[in-house]
């Protein structure tokens, strides 16, 4: 594997800060963060990891030592760019901004620097389209909150070399992530394709008056949602057998939602300004207390699941 020591995160926003923190897990790594504006990376990471410290998953000393290996710059001429062995881009989700960021990085980084994009939806083939050396470019889709969710989808473009993908998989595994390889550059990669197939069906059930939103969520949380962390869908299919899986699909697939457009119900809520947590109403009504509880409850749940604390 190519030796990686200096890592650069381009874009120090919500995802970039957490990704920078993740890489400090390996004490050999020096992490740089480059942004077009001043960002207090350390303050952001301290805030995002406060619950980990509170619950004893991370000591203050460990946190401070890890922060001491993160440097920040707004200067494109900084050695944090020219010396980087691997770059993870986490700038705005905008094709032109991403392309111009990589064009700039291509001028400043070495020929063999590995380039990764954290785009959640955009094609790595299209983002890297105009680069001179496209085989060293790959997608690395971290999930939010990046310092807690283990999955990173490593997405090959139409030109990513096997060596690049393999090196990135090993680097990510080395800092405690669970990288998975997406062998084809397809919209939604692996996990979002499944997540949104579920959301489409969930919305359709509400739209067709089969159950209300609260009931739909309850049906998931108290059934297959509980076993999912232990039993993936294909393990589950193997467990029940191909014969039963075939019979169920033969009967039910024809009745499932297969629309290729956002649902009329979603369109209507959007048009009415019902934007979920942002406005206090979406599929359900939300009080400020319920919103606060849902947000902090999620982090506490993830820490309990991942660290048992
Ligand atoms: N927010 C999520 O839940 C999530 C999850 C997975 C992936 N992503 C992806 O991660 C990327 C970053 O998302 P975010 O939520 O951290 O955004 P953000 O807006 O919080 O941060 C983006 C940062 O990039 C900087 N930036 C923008 N253009 C730049 C440029 N040309 N040069 C240098 N810095 C620049 C901004 O100043 C900002 O600090 C996006 O591609 C997004 O789709 C986001």
pLDDT in tens, 32-51: 999 999 999 999 999 999 99
Question: What was the pLDDT predicted at 230?
Answer: 96
Domains of the chain and CATH, by start: 6-182 (3.40.50.720), 191-307 (1.10.1040.10)
What is the mean predicted confidence (pLDDT) over 294-299?
91
Question: What was the pLDDT predicted at 2?
Answer: 78
Atom index in ligand 1 nearest the CA of residue 93 equals 41
Report CA-CA distances (Å) from 259 to 120, 194, 262.
22, 15, 8
What is the mean predicted confidence (pLDDT) over 176-186?
98
What is the mean predicted confidence (pLDDT) over 56-83?
98
Give the whole-number percent of the chain exceeding pLDDT 70: 100
What is the mean predicted confidence (pLDDT) over 62-83?
98
Cα separation, 226 vs 115, whole angstroms: 37
Question: What was the pLDDT predicted at 44?
Answer: 98
Is the shortest distance between the CB of 11 and ligand 1 below 6 Å? yes
How many Å lie between the centroid of ligand 1 and the Cα of residue 14? 7
For β-strands 151-155 and 137-142, DSSP reports them as antiparallel
Sign of CA dihedral 72, 172, 304, 227: positive
- Give kind and range of the element (H or E) at residue 178: strand 178-182
Is the shortest distance between the CB of 14 and ligand 1 below 6 Å? yes
120 close to 134: Cβ distance less than 8 angstroms: no
How many Å lie between the centroid of ligand 1 and the Cα of residue 218? 33
Question: What was the pLDDT predicted at 296?
Answer: 87
Cα separation, 233 vs 200, whole angstroms: 17
Is the shortest distance between the CB of 44 and ligand 1 below 6 Å? no
Cα separation, 115 vs 117, whole angstroms: 7
Report CA-CA distances (Å) from 44 to 21, 48, 92, 222.
10, 6, 18, 35
Give the whole-number percent of the chain exceeding pLDDT 90: 98
Instruction: Kindly report, residue by residue over 272-285, the tens digit of the pLDDT.
Output: 999 999 999 999 99
**Taking Cα atoms as reference points, which of 287, 282, 281 lies closest to residue 266?**
282
Residue 155 has pLDDT above 80, yes or no: yes
Residue 79 has pLDDT above 80, yes or no: yes
Task: Based on the residue annotation, tell me whether 192 is a catalytic residue of this protein.
Answer: yes
Cα separation, 34 vs 19, whole angstroms: 13
Instruction: Kindly report, residue by residue over 122-145, the tens digit of the pLDDT.
Output: 999 999 999 999 999 999 999 999
Report phi then psi at 288, rounded to 5.
Answer: -55, -35
Residue-averaged pLDDT of the chain = 97
Instruction: Kindly report, residue by residue over 206-248, the tens digit of the pLDDT.
Output: 999 999 999 999 999 999 999 999 999 999 999 999 999 999 9
Atom index in ligand 1 nearest the CA of residue 37 equals 37
Two structure tokens written together for 95? 């094709």
Is the shortest distance between the CB of 263 and ligand 1 below 6 Å? no
Cα separation, 284 vs 274, whole angstroms: 9
154 close to 115: Cβ distance less than 8 angstroms: no
Residue 1 has pLDDT above 80, yes or no: no
Cα separation, 155 vs 62, whole angstroms: 32
Atom index in ligand 1 nearest the CA of residue 98 equals 31
Residue 205 has pLDDT above 80, yes or no: yes
């Amino acid at each position: 594997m190519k030796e990686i020591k200096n890592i650069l995160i381009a874009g120090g926003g919500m995802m970039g800060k957490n990704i920078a923190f993740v890489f400090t897990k390996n004490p050999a790594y020096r992490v740089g963060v480059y942004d077009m504006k001043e960002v207090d990376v350390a303050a952001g990471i301290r805030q995002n990891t406060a619950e980990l410290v509170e619950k004893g998953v991370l000591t203050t000393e460990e946190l401070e030592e890890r922060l001491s290996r993160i440097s920040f710059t707004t200067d494109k001429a900084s050695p944090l760019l020219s010396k980087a062995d691997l770059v993870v881009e986490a700038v705005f989700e905008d094709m032109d901004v991403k392309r111009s960021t990589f064009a700039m990085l291509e001028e400043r980084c070495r020929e063999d620097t590995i380039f990764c994009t954290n785009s959640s939806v955009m094609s790595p083939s299209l983002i890297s389209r105009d680069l001179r050396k496209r085989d060293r470019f790959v997608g690395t889709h971290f999930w939010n909150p990046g310092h807690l969710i283990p999955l990173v989808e490593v997405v090959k473009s139409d030109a990513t070399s096997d060596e690049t993908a393999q090196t990135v998989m090993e680097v990510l595994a080395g800092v405690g992530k669970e990288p998975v390889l997406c062998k084809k550059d397809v919209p939604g990669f692996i996990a979002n394709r499944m997540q949104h197939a579920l959301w489409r069906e969930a919305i359709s059930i509400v739209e067709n008056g089969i159950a209300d939103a609260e009931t739909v969520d309850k049906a998931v949380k108290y059934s297959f949602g509980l076993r999912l962390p232990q039993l993936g869908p294909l393990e589950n299919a193997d467990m029940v057998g191909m014969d039963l899986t075939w019979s169920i699909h033969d009967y039910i697939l024809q009745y499932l939602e297969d629309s290729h457009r956002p649902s009329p119900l979603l369109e209507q809520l959007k048009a009415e300004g019902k934007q979920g947590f942002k406005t206090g109403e979406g599929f359900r009504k939300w009080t400020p207390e319920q919103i606060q509880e849902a947000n902090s409850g999620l982090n506490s749940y993830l820490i309990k699941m991942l660290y048992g604390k």
